[in-house]
Amino acid sequence: MPRTPDTVVFDIGNVLIHWDPRVLYREIFPDPEEMAHFLEVVCPPEFNLSLDRGRSFKDAITERLELHPEHAEAITAWDTRWQEMVPGEITATVAILEELRAAGVPLYAITNFSREKFAECEIRFPFLKEAFHDVVVSAHEGVLKPDPAIYQVLFSRNAIVPEQTIFIDDSATNVAAARNVGMHAHHFTGADGLRAVLADQGFPLTPRG
C-alpha cells in the first residue's frame, strides 16, 4: 500500500524564486530576434547547464567571450547582472513553505543551481538558509536533475525514505524522474494548485480562496 508523504522536497527556481534570463536581456536587446539569437546561440541553455553542473562563472564566461567577442558586454552581464534575471520570490509559494515550516513539516530542496549564484541567493532570500533541513545543489554535487543520482544524494545524506516524500518541480521531466526513484511528485504550475495537492495529502495548510 502506498505510503502517505510526510516530508516535502522543493525545487527552487520558478517554484520559490522567479528566474528568467529574458528579464535582463530584454533590456540589453530591444529587438526580440537579437535577444533570441543571443539566448539560443551565444549563451544557450547548455551554457547555463554547465554552470549548474559546477563550472565556474569565470571559466564559462571566458569561453563565451572567446567565441563571441562581439557580444562581450551582454556575455559579461550574465555574471555581473545575474540577479536581474531573478526579479523576486514567488510570494504565494513561499507562504506555503512558511506554513509548512511553522507546522514542523520536514522540508528539503533539490535544485539545479550554480555554486556562486546560489550563495548570493541565500543572502538575498534568507528563507533558503532558514527553512530547509538540507539543500542539494547540483553544482556542489556535479550532477543535474533529472539524473537519479541527485535524488539519491538527498536520500542517503538525510536517511530519507522516498515513498514518504513529495517532490515539487516546475519541470515535468524532473517530476517524472522523482517518481521513478519512488517519490510522490507534483508538477508545479502555480501556488494554488500546489496548496490543494498538499492539503489533499494531509499537510497542515490553511485553505485559500
pLDDT in tens, 9-18: 999 999 999 9
| C-alpha dihedral sign at 26, 31, 35, 36 | positive
| Residue 165, φ and ψ in degrees, nearest 5 | -120, 155
Q: Please state, as a whole number, how many other Cβ atoms lie within 10 Å of the Cβ of residue 38.
A: 20
Is the pLDDT at 2 greater than 70? The verdict is no
Q: How far is CA 74 from CA 27, 67, 113, 121, 122, in A?
A: 10, 13, 21, 21, 25
Q: Hey, what amino acid is at 49?
A: L
pLDDT tens by residue, 161-180 = 999 999 999 999 999 999 99
pLDDT in the model for residue 207: 73
Distance in angstroms (rounded) separating the CA atoms of residues 48 and 98: 30
pLDDT tens by residue, 115-152 = 999 999 999 999 999 999 999 999 999 999 999 999 99
* Domain-wise residue ranges, the chain: 7-18+87-200, 21-85
Tell me the CATH number for domain 7-18+87-200: 3.40.50.1000
pLDDT in the model for residue 1: 38
Distance in angstroms (rounded) separating the CA atoms of residues 188 and 80: 30
Mean pLDDT score, 64-83: 98
pLDDT in the model for residue 199: 94
Distance in angstroms (rounded) separating the CA atoms of residues 99 and 203: 10
The three three-digit cell numbers of residue 113, written as one number: 543551481
Confidence of residue 4 (pLDDT cuts 50, 70, 90): confident
